[in-house]
Amino acid sequence: MGLQGSLFEEVPAASPFDEGESDAVDMSQPLAARIRPRTLDEVVGQEHLIGPDKLLRRMIEGDRIASMIFWGPPGVGKTTLARVIARQTSSRFINFSAVTSGIKEIRAVMEEAESYRRMGKRTILFVDEIHRFNRAQQDAFLPYVERGSITLIGATTENPSFEVNGALLSRCRVFVLHALEVADLRRLLERALTDERAFPDMRIDVAEGALDTIAAFANGDARTALSTLEMAVVDSPQDEDGTVHVDAETVAQCTSKKLLLYDKSGDEHYNLISALHKSMRNSDPDAAVYWLARMLEGGEDPLYIARRVTRFAAEDVGLADPHALDLAVSAFQACHLIGMPECSVHLTEAVVYLALAPKSNALYRAYEQAKRDATKSVAEPVPLQIRNAPTALMGNLGYGRDYRYAHDAADKITAMPCLPDSLRDRTYYEPTDAGAEARFAAKLAQIKEWRAAHAGEWESTVDADADAGASSVKQKKGN
């Protein structure tokens, strides 16, 4: 048990989950820990999982618990639910650290859990931040999960599809926990003010609207809400009869800086950049600016956003507005030169402009189609007529033979083919009629009409075995 004491927390079923547990309150613990729910009915939020007749509630009340993963943002009750499950199912509860534990420690606690299983005692192993375990560490759980030595409950803020290996994930049911609503947090705060474990022997008077301010500030995080309430209570004065008065000014000081949920390498990072991109694509400047602000105020590197905005200018606007790329590159340069917070307005200018610009993905589609041919078809040789011939030998081999210099032609165009023979009829760029691209479409239509009219003016002049796969053409006599 000495090993466990240093690396993971074991909570036997009889304590602290016993109804007869001590009434003593450890005021050194944060408020969120002091008033942690003990039953499902005390849990706030997650009605889609633990509401009446919902799946997880039925599993818990029917004592049909299987290994599972809780996926959700911080402070929504992942640890709390795991503890409630252990209490309600009379299981041993071990809180395992994904930060400080290695394979040796995993196997030690697994073997002990197997011993308890043989005695008919179930062990719930709770692994917070399970995504921090590497593949080998996650694999170490597998045999014990399969044998039923443990019931694994993992918690993660990251998408388990990417962060939990497939073998372990296939043996667990994934439950998605949502950020708490403001009404949920308000109810939680009200309960904290009446819970004898929260502020024992204290009378607290909270100004009207203060709890709503804290609930909105917490951004769906119960831990943040309770920590902010505790800070406000501690910082508020007591009157002569011992009542603590939490006024609006104190709450305003405690909520002066909202911490946005954002992880620059995690799932929310990709969710927010996707939201920005799709809002611009959908010509919604208000939504685009909002998602931009969410990223910048959450600490995102402005250069990352600028790179994505520059990509958007070519991928989603393209030649419908050629100026869009200039503006995006200018915004990127501004971000590089002056940084945050000053460059926020430059990115806003680019984002709003791109949201309102005419849209065309013709360039993106052109490249993707050409890429498929380039990577999946036979790598055709470059036609001889458009090869350079810097040496006499290359000239003798036909390099550059019959090349036609377009500037010498009256219309600055010739019938000389530039694609390999097998791709001669391919069309990659298909312009739209959006914005300035309509002019490019008209010009391209004229070029294709001219080529169609002069298509017969060229014929192959290279012997089939002179350069297999290459072609060279020359104008017919008289042209």
Q: What is the pLDDT of residues 290-303, one digit of tens each?
A: 999 999 988 888 99
pLDDT over 90 at 113, yes or no: no
What pLDDT is attached to residue 473? 46
Average pLDDT over residues 315-334: 95
Measure the CA–CA gap between 8 and 17, rounded to whole angstroms: 18
pLDDT over 90 at 114, yes or no: no
pLDDT over 60 at 156, yes or no: yes
What pLDDT is attached to residue 479? 40
The amino acid occupying position 74 is: P
Average pLDDT over residues 234-256: 86
Average pLDDT over residues 368-387: 86
Between 25 and 190, name the one with better pLDDT.
190
Measure the CA–CA gap between 323 and 317, rounded to whole angstroms: 10
pLDDT over 80 at 157, yes or no: yes
Average pLDDT over residues 273-301: 92
Task: Using the Cα atoms of residue 13, residue 19, residue 24 and residue 28 in order, give the sign of their dihedral.
Answer: positive
CB 371 within 8 A of CB 428: no
pLDDT over 60 at 213, yes or no: yes
> Please, what is the angle between helix 285-297 and helix 302-312, to 10°?
150
CB 179 within 8 A of CB 221: yes
Q: How confident is the model at residue 265 (pLDDT cuts 50, 70, 90)?
A: low
Average pLDDT over residues 391-395: 83
What pLDDT is attached to residue 50? 92
In order of their start, the domains of the chain are 2-176 (3.40.50.300), 182-254 (1.10.8.60), 267-356 (1.20.272.10), 380-475 (no CATH)
Measure the CA–CA gap between 218 and 207, rounded to whole angstroms: 18
Q: How confident is the model at residue 12 (pLDDT cuts 50, 70, 90)?
A: very low
Q: Cβ-count burial of 405 within 10 angstroms (0-12 exposed, 13-18 middle, 19+ buried)?
A: exposed
Distance (Å) of CA 401 to CA 65, 470, 478: 77, 12, 18
CB 106 within 8 A of CB 140: yes
Partners of 127 in beta bridges? 96, 154
- pTM, entire model: 0.61
Lowest mean pLDDT among 26-30, 171-175, 398-402, 418-422: 26-30
What pLDDT is attached to residue 425? 83
Average pLDDT over residues 156-171: 87
Comparing CA positions, the residue from 110, 138, 139 lying closest to residue 125 is 110
Measure the CA–CA gap between 61 and 287, rounded to whole angstroms: 43
Measure the CA–CA gap between 455 and 460, rounded to whole angstroms: 13
Between 458 and 315, name the one with better pLDDT.
315
Comparing CA positions, the residue from 351, 349, 306 lying closest to residue 329 is 306
What pLDDT is attached to residue 101? 64
pLDDT over 90 at 238, yes or no: no
pLDDT over 90 at 464, yes or no: no
CB 208 within 8 A of CB 103: no
What pLDDT is attached to residue 414? 86
pLDDT over 90 at 145, yes or no: no
Measure the CA–CA gap between 292 and 343, rounded to whole angstroms: 12
Q: How confident is the model at residue 476 (pLDDT cuts 50, 70, 90)?
A: very low
What pLDDT is attached to residue 16? 32
Nearby residues of 136 by Cβ (< 8 Å), 6 or more positions away: 103
The count of other CB atoms within 10 Å of the CB of residue 363 is 19
The amino acid occupying position 394 is: M
pLDDT over 90 at 119, yes or no: no
Average pLDDT over residues 348-375: 94
Nearby residues of 361 by Cβ (< 8 Å), 6 or more positions away: 315, 316, 318
Q: How confident is the model at residue 1 (pLDDT cuts 50, 70, 90)?
A: very low
Measure the CA–CA gap between 207 and 204, rounded to whole angstroms: 10
Measure the CA–CA gap between 142 and 95, rounded to whole angstroms: 18
The count of other CB atoms within 10 Å of the CB of residue 124 is 24
pLDDT over 70 at 273, yes or no: yes
What pLDDT is attached to residue 355? 95
Average pLDDT over residues 49-70: 91
Comparing CA positions, the residue from 127, 73, 95, 102 lying closest to residue 12 is 95
pLDDT over 60 at 45, yes or no: yes
Q: How confident is the model at residue 384 (pLDDT cuts 50, 70, 90)?
A: confident
Residue showing tokens 């602000």:
293
CB 173 within 8 A of CB 68: yes
Lowest mean pLDDT among 170-174, 198-202, 427-431: 198-202
Please give the share of the chain, as a percent, with pLDDT higher than 90. Answer: 37
